Every structure is written in C-alpha cells, then in structure tokens.
Structure 1
Amino acid sequence: MAAEPEGKPIWADAMFSDVEGAKSFYAEVLGWTFGESSSEYGNYTQAYANGKAVAAVVPPMPGQEGQSQWCLYLASPDAAATAGKIRENGGTVLMEPMQVGEFGTMCLAQDPGGATFGVWQGGTHKGFEVTGEPGAYSWAEVFTRESEKADAFFPAVFGYDVKTMEDEQIDFKVFELGEEPVLGRMKMRTEDFPPEVPSYVQVYFAVPDCDAAVAAAQKLGGKPVFGPMTSPFGRFAALVDPQGAAFAVIDTATTEGEMPKLT
C-alpha cells in the first residue's frame, strides 16, 4: 500500500472516559466491531467496518480528561517537519511528534483559529483500510470563525489548492490535492453556532441510511445538531454522541440538487 499524499485525511480516533459506552453507541449507529484493546498503548482500541480498520477509541490519558472529541489525522511523510511548518504558519503544536512503536509517529496541533487536528506519519499502521463505505470515514470539514486564517494556514502547511464553492448561503471552501477534494472549510456563523462553541473538525462517517443512523443515535442518548437534510453530496446529519463528541453521518447514495460549482 503506497503512502498517502501529504495532507490527505488518513485516520480518526477519539478519547472517551467511558470507552465501553462509546463502543456500544458506535456499534449500534455505525455498525462497528472492535478489536482487542492494546494495554501497551493506553488501551487503544481499533474499530472495524466489515473487518476493515476505520477508526479507534481510547481512554483519556491522565490530565487529558474532559469533553470527548473526534480527531482527524492528516498524512505526513515527516511529522517533525510538518510540526515545524505548523509553527511557522501560526499554528500550535499541542503534542510534539511521538513515535508509537512500529505503527508510526503522531503529532497533535491546532490551526490559528483553534481547530484541533492530528498528523500521522505511517509506519506499519497506514491509516484507514477503507473509506466511503458504510461505517467508514467519508469526509471532513474544518469549522472555524477565523476563515481567512484557516485558508492561509492549511495550504501553507499541506500544499492544498483552494477552491471556493459558489453558494450565497454559506462561506465554504474546498482544499484539494491535485484535483482531489480532501477537506472542506466552513465559516461558523454566530446565528448558527453560539460563541462558546470553539472551532473544530467535523468528521463524516458513511451510512447506508442517514435517518436510521440518527434514530439509533437518539435512542442511545445522542443528539441531532443539524439535519437530516439531503444535498447534492448526500443525505447527512450532524450529531453529538452521549459523551459530547461531535460527528456527522452521510448517505452518499441519496442526493438532491445540482452539484455547486467550485472556482
């Protein structure tokens, strides 16, 4: 398996104080199964969709207890060099590059607007074993109030080309590698997001039926934030799980309307 290009979303994980609760929730909503927890690596537990690794859950490390959140990792051929570029372009390195056995090297960072993301330099762990299929990663967007900073930061660090979506209702850009869209950037409007909601990265997981996934999430204590609604990209909804982690689900087979233009 060839290494993914720098800046491409490559993995996602989340810390949960109640890991067993998280496993039960996502098993029901996304159909995940789980491997054995790795005590050597803080009880890191991989999630699988149809036998393919798609994400992981882990208890918080001492001192990192707090609201759960999903973290998207972007590929890097050299995590230390990427950390340097993050600093040079106004970002913050939250956790210095750390080798995780033979699996790879990880780093945690924030963009200048405060959105947290990870960097992953793959070793034996190459990242997602499948994407776009039910239960697997599908897409991600940086939600930020400081859109100009994000638009400068991410292309400077990861070499993205930037396209603007022609839509009068939203301020949305698409970051591309080559001609492949790999990440979205949504400006958070105060009327939609209370001031206390910080910038974040929204991770979308594919589902065969958006409404059924939302109903399952609600039954288990999850809360819908937006949707379900149907778009040219699919029928999707944004949710918060019972431990406070935001995520989204999307059924890409159910679409409506024409694809917006990117300029």
Structure 2
Amino acid sequence: MIRVSNIRKSFKDHVVLKDISFDVNEGEVVVIIGPSGSGKSTLLRCLNFLEKPDVGQIEIGDVKLDVNKANRQTLNKLRMQTSMVFQHYNLFKNKTVLENVTHALVVAKRMNKEAAKEVGRDLLKQVGILDKQNQYPIRLSGGQQQRVGIARALAVNPYAIFFDEPTSSLDPEWVGEVLRVISKIASHNKTMIIVTHEMNFAREIADKVIFMADGVIVEQGTPEEIFDYPQKERTKKFLRDFHRNNSVAEEPFHQSGRVKELAL
C-alpha cells in the first residue's frame, strides 16, 4: 500500500502542503482534484522526492521512511517503487520512441538491450503506437508523445504510477485516447494516483477521490460521495464553479468496466 503521513512542504515563506495524510490500497486508483495552486502536483512530486518534503513519513510498497532520516540508499529504493507520467511528456528529444521506453531498463535495470527492446515493443503495441517506434518525439502528436510516456512508466514495472495532469497539455482531440489508455491500465489493478481536471474521467476511473484546496485535503471518499454528496462547502463551491465554467467544454468519458485489453 501507499501511506502518506503528515507531509509538509514550503517554498521559502509559502506553505504549499499542510500536514497531508492519506492511504492508497494496493491496486487502488486514487484521483486528486482541486483548484490550480492547491498543491496537487507538488504532493505527487514529494512522494517520489522530485521535491523533498520538509517533514513527514512516506510508505510505498515495501519501503517506508521518515523524510528527514532516510539515507540515499532508502531514497533510491523508494524512487524505484514508482514511475511518473508528466504534464509535458519529458521525453528525450534525441532518442527514438523505442529508446525512450527502453532507456531506464538498460541504464537502471541493467537489462540486455535486445531484451529491453522486446519489452519496449510490446508496451508500444499495447498503447497503440508500435508503428512509431523509430520516430523521434518531435514527429509525434501530443497524444502520441503522452502514450510514449505511459509506456515508459510501465516499462520498469513499478509498484505505483503517478499521473500529473496527463492531458493538460493536449489538444482536445487527443485527450480521449490518452484517458482510454490510462483506464485500460487501471483495469489490471495497477496502483495509481492521478492528478486531473477531467471530472467525468475521475468519476468513472477512481476508487477514491481526494479533494484538495489551499494545501490541505478538504475531504475524500468514493466518487459518488465527492461528486454527488460533498460534505464540505469548499468542495461544493469547487464543483459548482467547475460545472459552470465547463458545462459545454467537457465531453462525457465512457470506458465501461475498465476494458481489459492490456496484458500488463
């Protein structure tokens, strides 16, 4: 499981995260929603130490640490438990699609290059872009680049995958295809934490929804509890404002039953 206890993070005098605590069970999909600037992305980055929290405890899989007492070896073990899919893809521009997917397998996992290529091609086939394996990222659409990022995250077989606004940089026509790939991964009980503004997607894919605002968790619960019966006024206001501003823009997301097509 993932257990986060009393995580705090400040940038100079600005407190971004205020005693954040929550659990994610193995195989669970947790979606974090909330207004911009609420600390959602910073929280994800703290969990794998892309940002170092000021205080707190983190447990992911079989690694548990106090953020101010952990040594480098324990930090490396924690980082190996997760993969991140970023807003802006973060692909190596000078490497082909296949090389982007296999890089961590060869460098970090010390896998034979040919074996790594076999794994990489299988994952690219599963996310629907095997035909692009020899292309460079600049030749791909945003949706295709993000699918490369997802294949890269899957390649190292992490305990959990973190998605940081995976569709926020995409043109509207590519959003659905990326969301469908993520939903297929979820169908295989992969532990996932997803930060997103796609409310219809969040409602359908999540086992649990966390609503954050002003650096704190305001409330958390099932999608039905959060979207249909929110208890806190701050949550109600966020959902009212969201629906008012997106009444036409957001298309319904339909992925019934988390279609089981990926053999992960």
Query: Considering only CA atoms, is the larger Rg found in Structure 1 or Structure 2?
Result: 2
Length-normalised TM-score, structure 2: 0.30
Length-normalised TM-score, structure 1: 0.30
- Give the structure, 1 or 2, with the largest relative contact order (CA under 8 Å, sep 6 or more): 2
Instruction: Identify the structure with the greater strand proportion.
Output: 1
